[in-house]
Structure 1
């Protein structure tokens, strides 16, 4: 059980730090969108703003996802869940987390394959006029999905500890 506690502490600390950093990505996204509006209104429209905004949004979402799971901020169908005891919630979460782990595993497998393809053929580029390289966002996605997998396992371990009646590590503020 000490290993479970240690794993939870390490993964939660890493995902908290990355998630807190990723939160500020919204400001970069706002700056790009503001520049896009200004350049379209007063100057020649910039070619790069739409794709850059999309890339920033992917990074913001995918790197903030594990932190959202850790904080319990993810969307949950709360028809009955809110009324259940902590132990019952933990038991249901143990079952449902395996669906998440399967989904993330398939997503990571496809992401790694797609990233390898991008590197193998000399750097895949977007077919737009700006033509940025695609590999940085693919690497970011693989990294974020890996972090999400680690966090899902951390949540599984927390639920196991709850079912055993043990103390579950709380969020580091």
Structure 2
């Protein structure tokens, strides 16, 4: 593979590894939010109206920012009816072909995410709840997560292509 592709793969993999490890910590933040909600309701008799929504936002950020990391580590679910019987080179060819569908899907998803994020920013979109938080921060995070996933699928495509050619990218 040409050097620019190898540099791209290494840069994307390194960045998504870092983002994935940071995203893992969001579970602790979410647990703290839910714990605060419980303690304030039980101990102080002061329920908070923002905790459920905030935990939903944190969980969304967690799985969308962690998606690229999961793909990188091979942790996504895979239909293994025939795939497990294939040789490593045949798996790489199959992956290189099928990941093109994922790249197309993520491209469409990114386009929609950019549109929704732009709308949320432009019109200061808020959620229809008692807390009524602005939605643009989570939409930015969600769109960024889809973008990272798209970059990771392109990186994975290049790695699969190199493996299929018999020159794996380390």
TM-score between both structures, scaled by the size of structure 2: 0.94
Q: Which moved more, 1:98-107 or 1:74-83?
A: 74-83
In 2, Cα distance between the equivalents of 1:85 and 1:8? 23
Q: Identify the residue that residue 65 of structure 1 maps to in structure 2.
A: 67
Distance 1:161 1:37, change over 3 A: same
Q: Identify the residue that residue 131 of structure 1 maps to in structure 2.
A: 132
Match of 2:49 among 44, 47, 55: 47
Shift of 1:78: 1.6
Match of 2:105 among 97, 103, 124: 103
Residues 21-44 of structure 1 show CA distances to partners (whole Å, capped at 9, x for unaligned) of 111111011111222222333322
**Superposition CA RMSD, Å:** 1.1
In 2, Cα distance between the equivalents of 1:77 and 1:95? 15
Residues 89-147 of structure 1 show CA distances to partners (whole Å, capped at 9, x for unaligned) of 111111111111111111111111111111111x1111100011100000001111111
Which SS does the other structure have where 1:130 is aligned? Answer: coil
In 1, Cα distance between the equivalents of 2:32 and 2:71? 27
In 2, Cα distance between the equivalents of 1:98 and 1:54? 31
Between Structure 1 and Structure 2, how many residues are aligned? 168
Which SS does the other structure have where 1:129 is aligned? Answer: coil
Q: Which moved more, 1:98-107 or 1:33-42?
A: 33-42
Gaps of 5+ in 1: none
Residues 56-86 of structure 1 show CA distances to partners (whole Å, capped at 9, x for unaligned) of 0011111111011001111111222222111
**Stretches (4+) displaced over 6 A:** none
Residues 8-28 of structure 1 show CA distances to partners (whole Å, capped at 9, x for unaligned) of 101001101111111111101
In 2, Cα distance between the equivalents of 1:167 and 1:146? 25
